[in-house]
Structure 1
Amino acid sequence: MKTKISLEGEWKLQLDERKQGLSLPFMDSMTLPGTTSHARKGPKNETVLVDALTDEYWFEGYAWYSKEVEIPESLADKTCYLFLERTRQTKVWLNDQEIGTCNSLNTPHIYELTGLLRKGRQTITIRVDNTDYPTKGGHLTSKDTQTNWNGITGRMELQFFGASYLSDIRVYPNLSTRSVTITASLAGAAQGTVAVSAASWNSELEHRAEVQEFALWSPDLSIEYPLGQDALLWSEASPNLYTLNISLKDERGEETDRHELSFGLREFKTDQDKFTINGERTFLRGKHDGLIFPLTAYAPTDVEEWLRILSISKSYGINHYRFHTCCPPEAAFTAADMLGIYMEPELPFWGTITEDGDERHNQAEQDYLVSEGYAILKAFGNHPSFVMMSLGNELWGSRTRIDSIQKAYKAFDNRHLYTQGSNNHQFAPAVLEHDDFFCGVRFSKNRLFRGSYAMCDAPLGHVQTDLPGTLKDYDDQIVPPDLQSGPNTSSETGGTVQIQYGTEAKTVQLGEADKEWIPEIPVISHEIGQYATYPDYAEIEKYKGSLKAGNFKIFRERLEEKGLGHLASKYFASSGQLAVACYKEELEAAFRSRRLAGFQLLDLQDFSGQGTALVGILDAFMDTKGLISPEEWRTFCSDAGDGKVREIQLCFGRGLQCPYRAVLV
């Protein structure tokens, strides 16, 4: 049975910006979980950023944290692990003994202390390093989003286990048999008995599965547990969840371990060019998320805050989240389980995947990224909301190597759908052998399926170049009429193009593109929208936490210097109405497209970095800007738009006709 000692509270602190090593005695302290920035530690940052929010107490380097813990005699000899839910790169000491290091940016750091603890006072020292990562980390460490914070967030605890216990418990739902397969590793004993029970907990429809016992004869547990033909299913519309209780008993019948976890019975699959949930087709109405939290500058680890955030998105018709080069904490998946949101974490990479022998090949970085993927699958794979995973954002490089990585992930965990990445090989994309779905913005240079294109190649896209209308869709771009009878063998010579690379621009050489192709898997349009509004300067006062809106103040000063300060509110309101109109135009085109399987908005909320991209109808706090209500937004973004499309002629007399395409529900 697991016993926990919480490590939350006051810790001794020493900041070591130059990474010279610990110098005793400690001269400061702070409360953990938390970050040095949020605790206002270190010198105040006098630099004001224009292209992003400003971290008022920005710090990079080593931060040393130390705490004395009282270990009772009853726990001193038990199997013990130090658990740190979310942090940066860590090194741990127990008293004066070095324990090890861990560098996952997405998953908990876990250190085994078995046999090292003694009763009485023990000193735990943790060094957190937020420099020189194995990879740049995407939005996990970017100043554009949650910043490169230093600290430890979420649960911090010592976990003690009995003589025998279960670990690495995974739950695989099987819709056809209305059962789950449970796998786990048994430690500390060669055999025993496992009792399993399950009961629904968040639905008006109550359901219980019978208690069953299974004999264990090896350290590797694998059992199939039937739920019954009347088992409740999990989906966006009915996010029914079960509590699974697993009790481990030794040969004498005494309970030695117990686990309680939540799961949902669901099957998220593809059917030709569509997604299905439990056999029913569904359309993904998604949004981008870069872990933007201005008050703390780090992602929350409590379920309540994620319920608030995801509920706001759901009120605007959103049923899907794509996390840009990051994976959220477990609380986000738990909240999504409860609300019926389809989640897609992404490896923290925005660059080029190379092979051995390629120029600038970095095997250590690639090994790290691959290991992060496995860690994400192991840590969060039981959540029914975790339905898909991406290998990164706008990747370039070896298609063969990218495909081999996702092939390995699919063999490791088949509960999710996988894609090579989001908008890979931007101007010359291709579907890879092991892609379950494709996410991008074009199939070739001229086959576009997004309404507007930003930064490098504007003006482009029907929202920018065409008059507003009611007939636009992307079906002929996804499956061109001249290709329906067979592939076009002609090819394009690409030349050079300018692409967005990270948060900057880069010129790349396009070789000769492959022949035109038709996707036979679901297609998601990538980062659609990006329609900016003028700043609302009344928002400045909301930045009372770690991040300050110095950029807003600079923009206001520039306006006032031009004698236009009195027009600020009108600029905000007018640009906001234009943005809403553009979003409506783009979303309606997506819903009209019978061959599109979903979209991912950028964004419902403001993106605080990359030049201050105020592209949301909500601000960075997920508060309304007053531009449009959730009810009105849902008139063009909801499950009501997932129906059939029919072209209709309206006649107004005297031969005047107005064609438009209607979505029928």
Structure 2
Amino acid sequence: MKKIDLKGVWNFCLDKEKEGIKKQYYNRTLEDIIDLPATVSTAGKGTPSGEENTGHLTDPWLFEGYTWYSREVDFSEAEGKEFFLVLERTRISHVWIDEDYVGSADSLCTSHRYRVTPYGKTCRKITIMIDNTSYPVTGGHMTSPDTQSNWNGITGGIYIEEYGHSYLDKVRIYPNGAGRYIDVRLELEGTKEEDLTIFVSGGDHTYPTVRHTLYRGENRFRYSLEETAQLWSEHTPNLYRLHMELSQAAGAEDRELYSYVYSFGLRDFEAAGNYFEINGMRTFLRGKHDGMIFPLTGHAPADVSSWLKVLETAKQYGINHYRFHTCCPPEAAFTAADMLGIYMEPELPFWGTVTEPGEESHDERGQKYLMEEGFRILDEFGNHPSFVMMSLGNELWGSKSRLNRILGDYKKYDSRHLYTQGSNNFQFMPCILENEDFFCGVRFSKTRLFRGSYAMCDAPQGHIQTMPPDTVYDYDSVIRPPEIEQGDGGENYVTIQFGTGIKTVKMEEEKELIPRVPVVSHEIGQYAMYPDFSEIDRYTGVLKARNLEVFKRNMEKKGMLPMAERFFRASGRFAADCYKLELETALRSKELAGFQILDLQDFTGQGTACIGILNAFMESKGIITPKEWRQFCSERVILAMLPGLVYEGGEQIDLGITLAIFHPQPVVDPQVELCIYKEEKSLVSRKEVSWGEFLNGVYELGRMTVTLPELAQPEKWSIHIRLAGTEIENRYDIWVYPKEVPALSDKKGDSAVIVTGSTEEAKQYFEQGRKVLLYPEHLDDTNSVSGTYCTDFWCYPMFRSISESMGKPLPVGTHGLYIEKDHKVFQYFPTEFYTTPQWYDMVSHSRALILDASPVEPIVWTIDNSTRNHKLGNMFERKAGEGRLFVCTWDLRRQRDSAPARWLEYSIMNYMAGTD
């Protein structure tokens, strides 16, 4: 096969009114020019808009309608040859050769391919019309403004393939890693019979050449490699190339050679019981959601170098798996994943309901399109070793039997991949279908949750949102409970979240679901943080961060802009700690086969979800380093099993050590080193040896009993565990308090601190020049915001709207605390500048006072979301004349069982009694 590259200058015009077919634009000279590949937006065509979207990035050049492209192509040596026009990635396309209509293609995920054989003419005009308005389905994140935008244009390769009178088509390579061979299936088009020469190369080795006689239609043959051939996996991404040469007569005596080269890897990716295996070795999916967010272009790149940069960044953070939300990346993404060892899962571009013919709202055209799109994805990308899994869509509803038939059809057509019915289908009423190879979801019933956080509309919420932080919780008994209560049958209807809206569905009570396939947790995390306004200047390309500009202006109007960077840092650090708790819970769970985090990077739409420890450009926000992140997200993680992260001095901790390992090299006779220290001072140091060899699984290395020293005042300590002689290490901060709080000096008279919950009483004493500690009692929804330990889920505006539509409680919508940690009020209460576990008791039983339009500068802020943007305070002080007022919205008098609450009150009272 040979190529005629068509990149470069084309004649061009916009057709917003979509009249070009009627006016025969294909028979006219187009007035403008454009340099392809490009989109209307990357080329800056049309009239820019001043629109400001707050729910997603803004494309000021957004164009919806028809675009037209034309140029002449030289076919001077066309005799006896076949030619195909290929558009690698576009929208709905229509093609004309001169005035003759060739046809249309509508794939969003694969290339458009047209037979344009000129039959002897040497020069012909090709005209292409692209339509981004008439999709058979909505297109998921292939067309969503939340991610890559509904661009119009042609991206990636634009070329004509030249073949002889016969050519190869639908070449599929089926690797067998254990047997070190490949089975090849292909179709011969054109003549009845041709000779094919094949060989395989890889690394520095070329394998023997063999010859086959091909016959028109489908052909199959096997090619064996040596036993020493290298396997492909996340650890060893070894690649080979299959070379095929088709020799055919070019004239009376000459023969012309057409070469085909396909990359492949020897690998066996399988579902083995409850787990995944790569080449017979258990693996654990440390996955990342991806919606193909590329703000500089507004579309996914089609070059390998761009995808290498993205995927290499993900690997630096321990990611070995990509799930593409209702989208499929271009060829370059799979090629880069092949080279790096990333397990890829494309998904059909659909987020909706699958129905049977005859059912209400049945869309046979749309569903037929989706099924065909799946076959096209398998044909175009199926040879890539990185392509190991495929999903039918995101959060689907409807006919289980039809979903099962589609899975069966795909598996019968192409057995090289594992298939799932979709990601988090049927939500509260999940099922596992007969033809399903693995399950991806968030729960097995309303209360059997295997994710740490949920939106309020999907309550009950997860353990990270509702329980004091610990490092022992796991999902094993949730995924496979020891005892199952059976449902009582019957039907009812329930309103659930559906996309970014709601839907009422029939809920069928069935027996509790016990999975028989690997279970992957869907879209875990979603811990929101405050925006980083310094990123705004990074949006120098197509998409503009006008949402962030609006949020920044609103903060400036509230007089809080100087706090923006501090809010971002504090909420970001807190979110990173929540992710650590989430990911470690997954790694501890022996019954879980993997997770798909949402997300490592910010999501630019659906209300603007700043949920990534990387920004939308896959760049570090400076919140946590890759090395720190890999301590709890990598192929080998050592875990401390702590029943809590807040202790009393002298307390005895029963501490377990667990090793999660999914690596070809075993850990043999690991020596665990444990150190408990404060700053640089070591307080406890232990060494334990666990005899044995550990490979591919989750292992308990043993338990240690550690007695904490007695203390005079609270301190922050750190627990450091590592395997001696390796880089396998982890760290945990704990907060330790003395058992008893010293008695306060009993000052009398005017120097005494008055403690009250009454605002009126506080005002009376304050105006008398007294010192008053106020725990305000009358806080409600009109003057305050409820306290919660966990940061907001996803983003406030999207789930506020969904909760309102469903009549469910609204999300709290806050992002943790910002604390003036060096303030003298914390002399006896050491703290970080962000939320840590010692604050759990206080923030879980509190409200934050709304201080909008007040000059008060809190000592402890609650960070509100950037949409509502209240000024929220938990601790602040005021003075007038001799009066001194200290306000604390946590009533610490009611938390006498909490050591942190007792010591915080002691620290406040000591501060107030002094001269500072």
Verify same fold: TM over 0.5.
Answer: yes
Aligned residue for 2:346? 345
1:625-644 matched pairs, under 5 angstroms: 625-641=621-637
Cα contact 2:178–2:268 (8 A) shared by 1: no
Query: Is 2:11 the partner of 1:9?
Result: no
- Could you list the per-position Cα deviations for residues 414-450 of structure 1 after superposition, in whole angstroms to 9, with x for gaps in the alignment? 0000000000000000000000000000001110000
Cα contact 2:327–2:346 (8 A) shared by 1: yes
Query: Is 2:114 the partner of 1:111?
Result: yes
| Comparing 341-350 and 207-216, the one that deviates more | 207-216
SS at match of 1:481: coil
Q: In the superposition, relative to structure 1, how do residues 514 and 644 fare at CA in structure 2: closer, same or farther (>3 Å)? A: farther
Query: How many Å apart are 1:20 and its aligned residue?
Result: 1.3
Question: C-alpha distance in 2, partners of 1:114/1:586?
Answer: 57
Aligned residue for 1:467? 468
Query: Is 2:609 the partner of 1:613?
Result: yes
Query: How many Å apart are 1:478 and its aligned residue?
Result: 0.1
Equivalent in 523, 530, 533 of residue 534 of structure 1:
530
One-letter code aligned to 2:179: T
Cα contact 1:143–1:609 (8 A) shared by 2: yes
Cα contact 1:529–1:603 (8 A) shared by 2: yes
Question: C-alpha distance in 2, partners of 1:509/1:91?
Answer: 39
Equivalent in 94, 115, 120 of residue 91 of structure 1:
94
Question: C-alpha distance in 1, partners of 2:445/2:206?
Answer: 52
SS at match of 1:547: coil
Query: Is 2:55 the partner of 1:51?
Result: yes
One-letter code aligned to 2:519: V
Q: In the superposition, relative to structure 1, how do residues 492 and 440 fare at CA in structure 2: closer, same or farther (>3 Å)? A: farther
- Could you list the per-position Cα deviations for residues 381-410 of structure 1 after superposition, in whole angstroms to 9, with x for gaps in the alignment? 000000000000000000000000010000
Q: In the superposition, relative to structure 1, how do residues 545 and 655 fare at CA in structure 2: closer, same or farther (>3 Å)? A: closer
One-letter code aligned to 2:185: T
One-letter code aligned to 1:87: T
**TM-score using structure 1 length:** 0.95
Equivalent in 191, 194, 199 of residue 192 of structure 1:
194
1:70-89 matched pairs, under 5 angstroms: 70-72=74-76, 74-75=77-78, 77-89=80-92
Aligned residue for 2:279? 278
SS at match of 1:445: coil
1:224-303 matched pairs, under 5 angstroms: 224-250=222-248, 254=255, 256-303=257-304
Aligned residue for 2:18? 19
Aligned residue for 2:539? 543
Question: C-alpha distance in 2, partners of 1:103/1:275?
Answer: 35
SS at match of 2:572: helix
Query: How many Å apart are 1:183 and its aligned residue?
Result: 1.1
Query: How many Å apart are 1:187 and its aligned residue?
Result: 1.8
One-letter code aligned to 1:88: R
Query: Is 2:510 the partner of 1:511?
Result: no
Query: How many Å apart are 1:376 and its aligned residue?
Result: 0.1
Equivalent in 34, 39, 42 of residue 38 of structure 2:
34
Q: In the superposition, relative to structure 1, how do residues 507 and 182 fare at CA in structure 2: closer, same or farther (>3 Å)? A: closer
SS at match of 1:188: strand
**TM-score using structure 2 length:** 0.69
Structure of higher CA gyration radius: 2
Q: In the superposition, relative to structure 1, how do residues 526 and 627 fare at CA in structure 2: closer, same or farther (>3 Å)? A: same
Q: In the superposition, relative to structure 1, how do residues 273 and 491 fare at CA in structure 2: closer, same or farther (>3 Å)? A: farther
Q: In the superposition, relative to structure 1, how do residues 574 and 311 fare at CA in structure 2: closer, same or farther (>3 Å)? A: same
| Comparing 77-86 and 565-574, the one that deviates more | 77-86
Aligned residue for 2:384? 383
Query: How many Å apart are 1:362 and its aligned residue?
Result: 0.5
Equivalent in 518, 523, 527 of residue 522 of structure 1:
518
Aligned residue for 1:480? 481
One-letter code aligned to 1:29: I
SS at match of 2:458: coil
Cα contact 2:92–2:134 (8 A) shared by 1: no
SS at match of 2:580: helix
SS at match of 1:406: helix
Question: C-alpha distance in 2, partners of 1:593/1:443?
Answer: 15
| Comparing 107-116 and 460-469, the one that deviates more | 107-116
1:85-164 matched pairs, under 5 angstroms: 85-116=88-119, 118-120=121-123, 122-164=124-166
1:336-485 matched pairs, under 5 angstroms: 336-454=337-455, 456-457=457-458, 460-483=461-484
TM-align CA RMSD: 2.1
| Comparing 186-195 and 261-270, the one that deviates more | 186-195
Cα contact 1:454–1:530 (8 A) shared by 2: no
Cα contact 1:649–1:658 (8 A) shared by 2: no
Query: How many Å apart are 1:303 and its aligned residue?
Result: 0.4
Query: Is 2:652 the partner of 1:656?
Result: yes
1:164-203 matched pairs, under 5 angstroms: 164-201=166-203
Question: C-alpha distance in 2, partners of 1:492/1:442?
Answer: 21
| Comparing 40-49 and 612-621, the one that deviates more | 40-49
One-letter code aligned to 2:503: T
Question: C-alpha distance in 2, partners of 1:488/1:209?
Answer: 59
Aligned residue for 2:705? none
| Comparing 513-522 and 437-446, the one that deviates more | 513-522
Q: In the superposition, relative to structure 1, how do residues 115 and 26 fare at CA in structure 2: closer, same or farther (>3 Å)? A: closer
Cα contact 1:592–1:645 (8 A) shared by 2: no
Question: C-alpha distance in 2, partners of 1:196/1:629?
Answer: 47
Question: C-alpha distance in 2, partners of 1:525/1:473?
Answer: 13
Number of residues of Structure 1 aligned to a counterpart in Structure 2: 652
Question: C-alpha distance in 1, partners of 2:49/2:650?
Answer: 70
Aligned residue for 1:215? 213
Question: C-alpha distance in 2, partners of 1:33/1:306?
Answer: 17
Relative contact order, higher structure (CA 8 A, sep 6+): 1
Q: In the superposition, relative to structure 1, how do residues 256 and 163 fare at CA in structure 2: closer, same or farther (>3 Å)? A: farther
Q: In the superposition, relative to structure 1, how do residues 479 and 164 fare at CA in structure 2: closer, same or farther (>3 Å)? A: same
Question: C-alpha distance in 1, partners of 2:418/2:550?
Answer: 44
Query: How many Å apart are 1:510 and its aligned residue?
Result: 3.6
One-letter code aligned to 1:498: I
Query: How many Å apart are 1:253 and its aligned residue?
Result: 10
Cα contact 1:649–1:659 (8 A) shared by 2: no
Instruction: Give the fraction of aligned pairs with identical amino acids, expressed as a percent.
Output: 51
Query: How many Å apart are 1:56 and its aligned residue?
Result: 1.2
Query: How many Å apart are 1:192 and its aligned residue?
Result: 2.6
Query: Is 2:67 the partner of 1:68?
Result: no
